[in-house]
Amino acid sequence: MTDVSYEAVNARKNEIMKAALGMDYEAFETSPIAFDYEAMMAAPGYSLDDIARIQRATKVGDTPLHELTRLTRAVRATCEPGKGATILLKDEAANASGSFKARRASISAYEAEKKGYAGMVTATSGNYGAAVASQAAQRGLKCVVVQEVYDSHGVGQPEIVEKSRACEAYGAEVLKLTVGPELFYVLLRTLEETKFFNASLYTPFGIAGVETLGAEIGREVQQRYGKQPDVVVVTNAGGGNLTGTARGLRAVGCPDTSVVAVSVDLSGLHMASDNDFNNKSFTTGHTGFGVPFASWPDRVDVPRNAARALRYMDAYELVTQGEVFYVTELLAKLEGLERGPAGNTSLTAAVALARTLGEDQLVVVQESEYTGAGKHHNSQLSFARARGIEVRRGDPADNVPGKAIVIPERLDQVAGKPLDLSRLRNSYLKKAAQVHPADQWTADDMAFLAADTNTSVEDVLAAASSLKEEK
């Protein structure tokens, strides 16, 4: 009989993953830390046009790009003369399943069907699970979603419970877990027992699906405004959203567009903590995912993560929960678009950034998501109050994750704050040195690390010298 102990299943993870993807990652690896990233990304063999065609067949892509005229006007009223960039919103809620995650799931579903798998499996907080279930339904495939839903008391956040409902509505079987280390173990066991396709968020298939999002933005902005977007703002969690969008922008001639990552600041809350699990009012797009994944991408369910946000981000902005809830209401009341708070994380930073840029500049918010039921911000705020978290109006700088959600009283209080990218880069290189000692880094390793941290070989050499001295 097959040993299904935690240790044995994890020891078999590479063979399980290989069988569940039909992809050999060893072909790309050159050292314990370096691999041929572009060769891995090219392995699926799809052009942008191929991906767009695949997506159109299952109700994905070609989503509207709205100019937020009234919100832009409101922002300019808080600026000095000549400031206040035009804000655009790519409305990804128009995709099947209601979020940009449909793009990521579409290519995995196509691959699963093409390779003869009977179904798909994914581990997710929810939006991606709904996307996989929706795409699987359209291709006649079964779907299993492994999801952390509850704390140890059996209490689930309204947003996560709503995401479970959405997965089930599209026909998926949802394995609902409590928060903890068993998520990856259950995923591996499910893949091994079902022999389904691993619809991981972090494969080249998933990232390729998002490249069309960046390409659509780049093409449409250039057609409508005769220039590249000045800034594209991206809600950042695991990094795939930013990676795919940036690659798509570059593919259609927008190399000078600044790509800005944004996360909700949940400093002080631990994502694996049973107590903290329900004391955060955002289940994705926050620093609990964004910072760890940026500083070490290969902490995922595949051998090499195709989502490598640090390669592509030009800046990283943090916003508070209260700021996002405020901008969510503003979008509905000024622009008539009621969208989910997680997708509005990047819109919140866009408001703050637009205030610092000229009126002739363009800031694009690259996605929105559906809302309603438990995903609505009022549900999240009611849940927070019920758990003893203070919710009040005031200065959002007074926000304390897990203790106080402070909603701005005025638009000019939506400010955000920058995160120092050098901290993330240093953290990344320290982790790389733990995997493979810095004094053993080859020229190829250093070239890879320079690309992965969006720096230079000289910067990596200096970091390596410092790490050797620390040792």
Q: Which long-range contacts link 30-35 to residues 24+ away (Cβ below 8 Å)?
A: 30/444, 30/448, 31/436, 31/442, 31/444, 31/445, 32/435, 32/436, 33/432, 33/435, 33/436, 33/441, 33/445, 33/448, 33/449, 34/442, 34/444, 34/445, 34/447, 34/448, 34/449, 35/304, 35/448
Q: How far is CA 385 from the centre of its chain?
A: 27
Q: pLDDT tens digits, residue range 295-313?
A: 999 998 888 999 999 999 9
Instruction: Tell me which amino acid residue 54 is.
Output: I
Q: pLDDT tens digits, residue range 225-242?
A: 999 999 999 999 999 999
What is the rounded CA–CA span in Å between residue 186 and residue 142? 17
Q: Which has more confidence, 270 or 400?
A: 400
Residues 248 and 345 both lie in one domain: yes
For 268-304, give the DSSP string.
T--TT-TTGGGS-S-SSSBHHHHHHHHH----SSSSS
Residues 308 and 450 both lie in one domain: no
Residues 460 and 323 both lie in one domain: no
Residues 307 and 340 both lie in one domain: yes
**What domain count does the chain have?**
2
Q: Across residues 38-48, what is the average pLDDT?
A: 96
Cα angle for residues 300, 207, 303 (degrees, 5° grid): 30
What is the rounded CA–CA span in Å between residue 278 and residue 275? 7
What is the rounded CA–CA span in Å between residue 321 and residue 342? 10
445 part of a folded domain: yes
Residues 447 and 410 both lie in one domain: no
395 part of a folded domain: yes
What is the rounded CA–CA span in Å between residue 63 and residue 306? 24
Q: Residue 136 has which token pair? A: 């699987």
Residue 141 binned pLDDT confidence (cut-offs 50, 70, 90): very high
Q: Residue 464 has which token pair? A: 């390596």
The pLDDT score that the predictor gives to residue 471 is: 61
The stretches of 296-396 forming alpha helices (DSSP H) are 321-335, 345-354, 377-386
What is the rounded CA–CA span in Å between residue 90 and residue 333? 18
388 part of a folded domain: yes
Does residue 394 carry a pLDDT above 90? yes
Residues 220 and 276 both lie in one domain: yes
What is the rounded CA–CA span in Å between residue 412 and residue 28? 49
351 part of a folded domain: yes
Q: Percent of the chain beyond pLDDT 90?
A: 87
Does residue 273 carry a pLDDT above 90? no
439 part of a folded domain: yes
Residues 449 and 329 both lie in one domain: no
The pLDDT score that the predictor gives to residue 290 is: 95
Instruction: Tell me which amino acid residue 171 is.
Output: G
Q: pLDDT tens digits, residue range 326-368?
A: 999 999 999 999 999 888 999 999 999 999 999 999 999 999 9
Does residue 125 carry a pLDDT above 80? no
Q: Given the structure tokens 């449409």, which residue do they identify? A: 220
Residues 318 and 438 both lie in one domain: no
Q: What are phi and psi of 406, to 5 degrees?
A: -110, 115
Q: Tell me which of 175-189, 421-435, 445-459 is least confident.
A: 175-189
Q: Across residues 75-87, what is the average pLDDT?
A: 97
Q: Across residues 454-462, what is the average pLDDT?
A: 95
Which residues sit opposite 394 in a β-bridge?
Answer: 408
Q: pLDDT tens digits, residue range 8-29?
A: 998 998 889 889 998 889 999 9
Domain that holds residue 441: 427-470
Q: Across residues 236-263, what is the average pLDDT?
A: 97
Residues 219 and 295 both lie in one domain: yes
Does residue 448 carry a pLDDT above 70? yes
Q: What is the CATH number of the domain that holds 380?
A: 3.40.50.1100
What average pLDDT does the structure give for the chain? 95
21 part of a folded domain: no
Residues 282 and 233 both lie in one domain: yes
What is the rounded CA–CA span in Å between residue 134 and residue 123? 15
What is the rounded CA–CA span in Å between residue 317 and residue 354? 13
Q: pLDDT tens digits, residue range 85-102?
A: 999 999 999 999 999 999
Q: pLDDT tens digits, residue range 148-167?
A: 999 999 999 999 999 999 99
Residues 223 and 273 both lie in one domain: yes
Q: Regarding beta strands 315-319 and 417-418, do their DSSP bridges make them parallel or antiparallel, or are they unpaired?
A: antiparallel
Residue 413 binned pLDDT confidence (cut-offs 50, 70, 90): very high
Q: Regarding beta strands 258-264 and 142-150, do their DSSP bridges make them parallel or antiparallel, or are they unpaired?
A: unpaired
Residues 263 and 374 both lie in one domain: yes
For 162-212, give the DSSP string.
HHHHHHHHTT-EEEEEESSTHHHHHHHHHHHHH--EE--TTSHHHHHHHHH
What is the rounded CA–CA span in Å between residue 143 and residue 133? 6
What is the rounded CA–CA span in Å between residue 178 and residue 173? 16
Q: Tell me which of 60-69, 135-144, 269-278 is least confident.
A: 269-278
- Cβ(66)–Cβ(342) under 8 Å? no
73 part of a folded domain: yes
Q: Regarding beta strands 390-394 and 362-365, do their DSSP bridges make them parallel or antiparallel, or are they unpaired?
A: unpaired
326 part of a folded domain: yes
